Amino acid sequence: MKPKLSIIKIGGNIIEEQESLSQFLRLFAQLGGNKVLVHGGGKRATEIGKRIGIESKMVDGRRITDAKSLEVAVMVYAGLVNKNIVAQLQGNNCNSIGLSGADANAIIAVKRPVSTIDFGFVGDVRVVNAESISKLLSAEFVPVFCALTHDGHGQLLNTNADTIASEVAIALSQTYDTTLYYCFEKKGVLRTIAEPDSVIKRINMESYQKLKQQKIIADGMLPKLENCFHALNKHVQRVCIGDLSMLEPKAQLFTTITL
């Protein structure tokens, strides 16, 4: 039997608010077995970029990462956010180690080719180095990934944190019985946005298609769920979506995605 592994991605308001972040990190530290944390850090980068005089550039609603924006992302994601998370986890007796995809050569990406839009220094994941990450897990470290990768030739790249989480989960699912958790401010995928408890407890490929047609699942939730199904199709054992209470031992209200 494969050893168990939990990969947890946090984003959104959980990172922005110090109180919810601390609460999350306490729960994460208590979680048994092998674990990996993946975090975003979006709004903080935008805020610090503005203070330095770098505005976020958007084309067709999508963020462009020019050289200066990448510098800010590296400072905020790999520096400020990652190291504060690691220091707090250490304070909770969780021996974490903060990583970008360049560290331990963990995640190699390719700079997204220019088509109609030049996204700049954005990387699409090419290889996750499962051997390197497994070595860290075997040495009883808890890897904490920020949303940066590298091209293997010295260039750091900005990569979507949801994608990093699913790609790391896919790569490690060969060695580990892997559960992927997407943890955000809502209790799960909601039937009615205005009702925070209207969680759809189980979604499979079939019900997903219906929910999409009915426009119950829409907008930002679509790429999130596509990521989930992609991970399941590539042999990740379980995918769950919910708020931080999902990590509590007796958690009940969250969404489980299956094929």
| Cβ proximity to its own copies, 66 vs 197, nearer residue | 66
Judged by CB under 8 A, which of 8, 21, 34, 77 binds its own copies? 77
| Cβ proximity to its own copies, 144 vs 217, nearer residue | 144
d(CA 106, CA 152): 10
Judged by CB under 8 A, which of 5, 14, 37, 86 binds its own copies? 86
DSSP-derived letter for residue 55 is P
Judged by CB under 8 A, which of 34, 69, 82, 255 binds its own copies? 82
Count Cβ atoms below 10 Å from residue 26 Cβ, excluding itself: 16
d(CA 158, CA 77): 10
Bridge-based pairing state of the strands 202-203 and 255-257: parallel
| Smallest distance from its own copies to CB 149, Å | 10
| Cβ proximity to its own copies, 172 vs 199, nearer residue | 172
Binding to its own copies (CB under 8 A) within 101-140 occurs at 102-105, 132, 135-136, 139
| Cβ-Cβ contacts under 8 Å for 74 (sequence gap 6 or more) | 100, 148, 156
| Cβ proximity to its own copies, 91 vs 223, nearer residue | 91
d(CA 235, CA 256): 15
The radius of gyration of the chain's CA atoms, rounded to the nearest angstrom, is 18
Judged by CB under 8 A, which of 31, 64, 80, 251 binds its own copies? 80
Judged by CB under 8 A, which of 53, 61, 113, 249 binds its own copies? 53
Sheet holding 107-111, edge to edge: 123-128, 107-111, 148-150, 156-158
Which residues in this chain contact its own copies in the complex, by CB under 8 A?
48, 51-53, 71, 74-80, 82-84, 86-88, 90-91, 95-100, 102-105, 132, 135-136, 139, 141, 148, 150, 152-156
